[in-house]
Amino acid sequence: MVHDVVIIGAGPGGYLAAIRIAQFGKKVLVIERDQVGGECLNYACIPSKTLLHHASLYMKTMALIKKKIFTGTVEINWHRLQKTRERVVKTLTMGVKHLFRNTGVEILKAEAKEIGRDHVTVDVGGDNRRIKFRKLILAMGSSPVPLPNIEFDHVRILNSRDALRLMEKPKSLLIVGGGAIGLEIGSLYNMAGANVTIVELLDRILPFTDREISERLEAEMSKAGIRILTSSKVVNVARDGDWLEVEVEGKEGVERIRVEKMVVAIGRKPNTTGLGLEKIGVEMDSKGFIKVDERQETTVENIYAIGDVTGPPMLAHKAYWEALNVSESLFGDGPLPSPRHYPYVIFSKPEVFSIGVNEDEVDGDRVVVGRFPFSALGRAITEGSRTGFIKVIIDIETGDVLGIHIIGENASIYSSIASLVVERRLDALEIDHTVFPHPTYGEGLWEAVRDAFNRSLHKGSQ
């Protein structure tokens, strides 16, 4: 039997491509060695947001008890919370399997061993099987990168998967890496009561975001009790019974930090090794990311790649877009127009949203910048979410909104509308002339746009 399309990997990119291609009436086989839904659904995006949501509710409840609006005592049942995470993941993985059944997608639990030009050899429970295809889509995802000479033991030295599946809360935690993953894990355990230290090699956390936003986030997380060491690196780790002695080299020399566990979140590498891709002519860069064209096709005809294996940014919504792009390119009206930007949401405490150009990336004479604080926004005040601000960057000549950057309790609320505004390059005047309902968070975006032209109506009330 020859399958129309074989997809290796059932993560966000793989499963979405399978569903869309099946909608074209094609016979699709998905090969997955682990769980349907991949890293995002099983071990990252969904589990972390489940845990963060409940930890945030705990913090809000504690704040209301402190204000004597609520009375009584409250604590987190961590074991029960982890069971909730498992149920959420199971609900969504079952949903993907249901979609597969409805669209006729076949799923095979197996590990790809070697890829040829018209077939893939897989290991199914110890037995090798050769599967033939007309077209192949590579969607194998990525894996955490360990520190040099310090391997994961998954007990004390953890990767991000391990950190989100702990059945007991650690009292202390050191996180290596001040990117999105490290900051979300740090926020989670800080809210749960752990002593958290974050070590970042560069001079600031979230180095890819607008500097004003990242500096404000560092200040807010420090205020919450998280210790952040920038321009620092871990140089040695020693085990002492149930503890780790971590040596951190920073601006003022080497410091020894004693913690229960360490989480390494310094990046991810593509799962492209050991499959024989080089033998058949699939070209990759020096880091192992697969090179593709505008149709997601590799350097080998009829072999395509999507998601993390094609390189940064490693985002589920990037994998979604590439899945649609390859599907429409093969059987629809593609390729799709390439996105100008990919939006970022970091579910730290407080949250961060970012899309488009940063203020420090553009000539100040070409743009105007507007800001509006949550401390002046009615809806934010009603919810006790006064921390942070909205920032917009507007092209002086065209009026196009080039970037939107937000830090605040509910920054992610803006993610969809802000993405539309920047991706479509809406004119600031169009936003200014739109009626935003009151009282909502959306009004903050309207006020920030008006502030760029010194016309904000409520900013003075902060």
* Per-residue pLDDT tens over the stretch 29-65: 999 999 999 999 999 999 999 999 999 999 999 999 9
- Residue 150 located in a structural domain: no
Structure tokens at 375: 């401390």
Distance, CA of 409 to CA of 431 (rounded, Å): 23
Indicate whether 21 and 117 sit together in one domain: yes
Indicate whether 163 and 131 sit together in one domain: no
Indicate whether 275 and 379 sit together in one domain: no
Distance, CA of 344 to CA of 202 (rounded, Å): 19
Place of tokens 């930890």: 55
Nearest Cα to 289, choosing from 264, 314, 321, 320? Answer: 314
- What are residue 96's phi and psi, to 5 degrees? -65, -45
Within 10 angstroms of residue 387's Cβ, the number of other Cβ atoms is 17
461 vs 214, more confident: 214
- Residue 115 located in a structural domain: yes
Q: What is the β-pairing status of strands 111-115 and 243-250?
A: unpaired
Active site residue: 3, 119, 438, 458, which one?
A: 438
Q: Are 348 and 59 in contact, with CB atoms under 8 Å apart?
A: no
Indicate whether 245 and 289 sit together in one domain: no
Indicate whether 303 and 450 sit together in one domain: no
Indicate whether 231 and 281 sit together in one domain: no
- Residue 336 located in a structural domain: no
Domain with residue 58: its CATH number is: 3.50.50.60
The DSSP-derived string for 316-337 is: HHHHHHHHHHHHHHHHSS-PPP
Catalytic: 317?
no
Indicate whether 274 and 362 sit together in one domain: no
- Residue 79 located in a structural domain: yes
pLDDT confidence of residue 461: 47
Indicate whether 14 and 130 sit together in one domain: yes
Indicate whether 223 and 310 sit together in one domain: no
Indicate whether 248 and 219 sit together in one domain: yes
Q: Point out the domain boundary residue: 240, 266, 292.
A: 266
- Residue 345 located in a structural domain: no
- Residue 337 located in a structural domain: no
Whole domain around residue 449: which residue ranges? 350-461
Which residues is 255 bridged to in the sheet?
Answer: 248
pLDDT confidence of residue 462: 43
Domain with residue 358: its CATH number is: 3.30.390.30
- Residue 338 located in a structural domain: no
Indicate whether 225 and 178 sit together in one domain: yes
Question: Using N-to-C axis directions, what is the helix angle for 78-103 and 12-23, rounded to 10°?
Answer: 30
User: What global pTM score does this model have?
Assistant: 0.96
Indicate whether 225 and 280 sit together in one domain: no
How much is the mean pLDDT over the chain? 96
Contacts of 242 (CB under 8 A, 6+ apart): 156, 260
Contacts of 322 (CB under 8 A, 6+ apart): 13, 296, 306, 307, 310
Per the structure, the count of domains in the chain is 3
336 pLDDT above the threshold of 80: yes
Distance, CA of 375 to CA of 388 (rounded, Å): 8
Contacts of 326 (CB under 8 A, 6+ apart): 17, 137, 295, 296, 304, 306, 334
pLDDT confidence of residue 364: 83
As a whole number, mean pLDDT of residues 126-134 equals: 96
Classify 181 as helix, strand or coil: helix
As a whole number, mean pLDDT of residues 295-308 equals: 98
Which residue type does 360 have? D
As a whole number, mean pLDDT of residues 436-446 equals: 96
231 pLDDT above the threshold of 50: yes
- pLDDT tens per residue across span 141-161: 999 999 998 999 999 999 999
Place of tokens 């990919």: 342
- pLDDT tens per residue across span 194-218: 999 999 999 999 999 999 999 999 9
- Residue 405 located in a structural domain: yes
Place of tokens 């995802």: 141
Least confident residue range of 1-5, 92-96, 360-364 = 360-364
pLDDT confidence of residue 334: 85
- pLDDT tens per residue across span 69-124: 999 999 999 999 999 999 999 999 999 999 999 999 999 999 999 999 999 999 99
- pLDDT tens per residue across span 256-288: 999 999 999 999 999 999 999 999 999 999 999
